[in-house]
Every structure is written in structure tokens, then in C-alpha cells.
Amino acid sequence: MNFSQKQGIIIGVAAILVLALAILIFANLKKGPNEVVEVELTVWGVDDKKAFDGIIAAYAAFRPNVAVQYVQVDKDRYEQALLNALAAGEGPDVFLVDNNALLRQIGKMTPVLRTQYNLVNLRDSREGFPDVVEDDFVKDGEIYALPLYVDTLALAYNKELFNQASVVFPPGTWQDFQGTVQVLRKVDPSGRILQAGAAIGGSDKSISNAQDVLYLLMVQNGAPMVNDNFSSANFGVQGGLGLQAFNFYSQFANAASPYYTWNDSQPEFLESFARGETAMIFAYKSELDSLRSKNPFLDFRVAFVPQPAGESESVAYANYKGLTVSKQSQVSNWAWDFIIHATTKPEVVSTYLSQVNLPPALNSLINDKINDEDLRVFVRQALTAKSWPQSDDLAIDEIFSQAIRNVLTGQLDSQKALSQAESLVTQLMKER
């Protein structure tokens, strides 16, 4: 069949239009950070929206085509609300994950896409954040989350009670800590605690972060919390390092111990400290800020957590959250673009930190705050902080707290209580 010149031109133009339309459709399907498309992102957090306003405004200026909707969710129901939303296919693009919960949440998460490695990669993560961030949020070379802050357990002490007891310095080692407890505690002839030397040894009934203090002792002691392939727990090995740490912790709530200073009938540990009834507590920066509202006149200071005597390397314990991308997100590349911009730009992160008063996660900001009176302990500890991977952090916290209660009430000795806890944690790991 012969075509006229006019017909040939029409066919050629049509072919060009079809090709252009195909390119346009492909570009829209690809929807990467370099394409100008309209995108909507939903971010779930626990902070007041005001804390994220600076982050969102900075990203809007950086990516005008992306609209970010921030939703504040009550922290006590965050996990359940997230599960419900994801089950209904209505989850956020970006959500929070606890630093020790990667094993539990990884099935819901999308790691940084390889196509975005020009924005952030493993080397950048190592240079930009403390080592604990890689330990917590990197698996098989893939980055699954990035944090805005890193909080650590610190030792808070009542300066007035220290002065009255002629104690000049906070304890630097656990051996010093034992001696300081003996000096500061006050117990009547019947054994009733009038003034606690420290809030330690109890369960979460009286100390909300009791498990974390025990984890700190275990990690400092070199206890193997889990085996190398994360298939079972190892902290309860007969006569092992975990047991030593457990016995050290529980002695402070043992009325027969020379270091007895606490029991679960004591008031909640932050309240007791705020009232001046307890000389020392272990708490996170996020917890300590509430003390000012409880007692504006309380004269307390913050020190590094004690270390095992003779150890050359300090170890702190971390508790923080990272931002991650949902596996359900239809715009995961844009979601990661938002997280990377929010967490790796010092000027952007600072807008968040100024609102929440938490220690930074970014190394450049840690360096800026290394001598800050309010944050120096926490930022320095972030550089030596550790944690351990947990298949279900909420359930494991309860398992450890029950182990503590079993020892306090005399139902089990420490070896049996810890072995039972190890078995229950291993069972959780196998279920996952």
C-alpha cells in the first residue's frame, strides 16, 4: 500500500505523540525525587506538631512539590494504632521505630533505596551518626531507619543530699556506687527505708526503666544477650556474665544485703526523687525534664552512668526512635527523601531539637554540644552507647520485669528466674 506524503506526515506526528505520551506515563510511574510531580506524604509521630513544623517547612522549601501531613499519635497507643492502620491499608508513609525493635518491625519497613545512595549510604551513616545507630538500624548493609536524637541512661543525683552526707563526687564505678548508696541511705531499725540511696533493684512497678538499668549492667558486663544468628537468647547461661549482672542489680532490693536501699513498695522513682526521698536515680533526658515541673526547687545534677572497675572503655545504654518508611508506601523514594533531609541536615534537625530538648543524633551537632551544661553527659554517652536487638521489645521488657519480681518475692532464685527469662525470650525469637 502506497502512502501519500501528507499521510506519512500524519503518521509520523502520531508516532511522536504516542512516544511522548509513553515517556510521560513512565515518568509519572517512576516518580523519583528528581521528577517534578505532586506528592503527598503522611508522617506519624508522638511529638506535638510544633516540634515538626520546622522540619516540614524546611522540606517544603527544598521540595515544593511535596505536601507533608504530620499526625500526632498518643505514645501509649502508637504501636496498636500503627498496626491497625497498616492492617487496614491506611498506614502512614513514615513512622517511628524503637531503636531495639528492628527485628520486630522489619517486615513493615522499606530500607533506603539503592537509587538514593547518592543521598545517603552506609558510609555516610557511619560518619554522620554514633556507632549505635548502625548497630540498631542497619541490617545486611541496608539502612532501615535514621534518628533525630539519641537518648541514654544517665545518673541523676540530689546535690543537697550529697552535701549533707559529705559526698563530693558522684560515683564513677559500680564499686563506688555501692559505697555511696551505703552512705546516703537511711533505714530505721525495722528495716523501713526512710531515704533511698538510689532507685535500683526494683521492678517496673516502682521503676519504669528498671529493665533498662539491668540491660545496661548486662551489656557493660559483656553478657551475650543473643547468639550470633539471632535465633536464641544467651544471657542466662549457667554461671555466666548475665547472671553476675542480675545478682548485682537485685542486691539493692535484698533486705539481707549490705547495700539494701530499695523495694517495690517505694513510691514511683521519679516522684520519690523529686520529693528528695531518693538520692540517685537512673533516667533518660526525656524523663529528667519532668522533674522541674514536679519540684522547681530540686537541686539535682547529672553524671555519667557508673562503669565496671578497671574497664578502659565506657559503655552507656541507648533508648531512642528512628524514622522509617512503611513497606506499604506508594511513594517510598519520596518518603526516604524526606527522612534523609530531616535527619542529616544540621540546621533542619536543630529546629526539632530546640522544641523537644533532647540530645542530638547527628555527630556534627554532638560535637557542638560536647560541653553544653545541659546535654554534655548525654551527647558524650551517645558516642559509647549500646543496646541489643529484641524480637519484641515490649514483651521482653515484661519478661525481665517478671524475672525481677520473681526474685524480689522469693518465688525463684536468680539463676532460675534468669533461665526462665532466657527461655521465654528465645521462644519469642523463634516465633518471629
CB neighbours (10 Å) of residue 356? 16
Verify that 358 and 332 share a domain, yes or no: yes
**276 occurs within a structural domain:** yes
User: 115 and 251 share a domain?
Assistant: no
HEC string for the chain: CCCCHHHHHHHHHHHHHHHHHHHHHHHHHHCCCCCCCCEEEEEEECCCHHHHHHHHHHHHHHCCCEEEEEEECCHHHHHHHHHHHHHCCCCCCEEEEECCCHHHHHHHEECCCHHHCCCCCHHHHHHHCCHHHHHHHEECCEECCEECECEECEEEEEHHHHHHCCCCCCCCEHHHHHHHHHHHCEECCCCCEEEECCCCCCCCCCCCCHHHHHHHHHHHCCCCCECCCCCCECCCCCCCHHHHHHHHHHHHHCCCCCCCCCCCCCCCHHHHHHCCCECEEEECHHHHCCHHHHCCCCCEEEECCCECCCCCCCCEEEECEEEEEECCCCCHHHHHHHHHHHHHCHHHHHHHHHHHCCCECCHHHHHHCCCCCCCHHHHHHHCCEECCCCCCHHHHHHHHHHHHHHHHCCCCCHHHHHHHHHHHHHHHHHHC
The mean-pLDDT minimum among 17-21, 232-236, 243-247, 279-283 falls in 17-21
Q: Is the pLDDT of residue 115 over 70?
A: no
Please, which residues have CB within 8 angstroms of residue 50's CB and are 6 or more apart in sequence? 355
Number of domains the chain contains: 2
CA atoms within 13 A on the CB side of 45: 22
Which pLDDT band holds residue 199 (cuts at 50, 70, 90)? very high
Residue 208 and residue 266 in one domain? yes
Question: What's the chain's average pLDDT?
Answer: 90
Last residue of a domain, one of 360, 380, 400: 380
State residue 239's pLDDT score: 63
Does one domain contain both 217 and 253? Answer: yes
Quick: pLDDT tens for 88-105.
999 999 999 999 999 889
28-76: per-residue pLDDT in tens? 434 455 556 899 999 999 999 999 999 999 999 999 999 999 999 999 9
Nearest by Cα to 394 from 102, 101, 149: 101
In this structure, the number of other CB atoms found within 10 A of the CB of residue 428 comes to: 18
Q: What angle do CA 95, 393, 69 make, to 5 degrees?
A: 10
User: Which residues lie below 8 Å from residue 330, measured CB to CB, with a gap of 6+?
Assistant: none
**Mean per-residue pLDDT for 405-430?**
94
> What is the identity of the amino acid at 430?
K
pLDDT, tens only, 275-332: 999 999 999 999 998 888 899 999 999 999 999 998 889 999 999 999 999 999 999 9
Q: Distance (Å, rounded) from C-alpha 229 to C-alpha 252?
A: 34
Domain that holds residue 413: 152-318+391-431
14 domain-assigned:
no
**Domain co-membership, 271 together with 329:** no
Using CA atoms, how far apart are residues 399 and 427, in angstroms rounded to an integer?
12
Q: Is 169 found in the same domain as 127?
A: no
Q: Please report whether residue 326 resides in a domain.
A: yes
- pLDDT for res 10: 40
Q: What is the pTM of this model?
A: 0.88
Residue 105 shares a structural domain with residue 207: no
110 and 232 share one domain: no
Instruction: For residues 309 and 336, state if they share a domain.
Output: no
Q: Which residue has the higher pLDDT, 24 or 255?
A: 255
Are 241 and 218 in contact by the 8 Å Cβ rule? The answer is yes
Are residues 427 and 332 part of one domain?
Answer: no
137 shares a domain with 246: no
118 belongs to a structural domain: yes
Rounded-to-integer distance, Cα 179 and Cα 96, Å: 41
User: Do 112 and 120 meet the contact criterion of CB atoms below 8 Å apart?
Assistant: yes
Which whole number is the average pLDDT over 15-19? 39
CATH code for position 354? 3.40.190.10
pLDDT, mean of residues 400-422: 95
Alpha carbon distance 394, 241 (integer Å): 23
Residue 29 lies in a domain: no
Residue 58 lies in a domain: yes
Does residue 255 share a domain with residue 185?
yes
Q: Is residue 248 part of a domain?
A: yes
Q: Does residue 124 belong to any structural domain of this protein?
A: yes
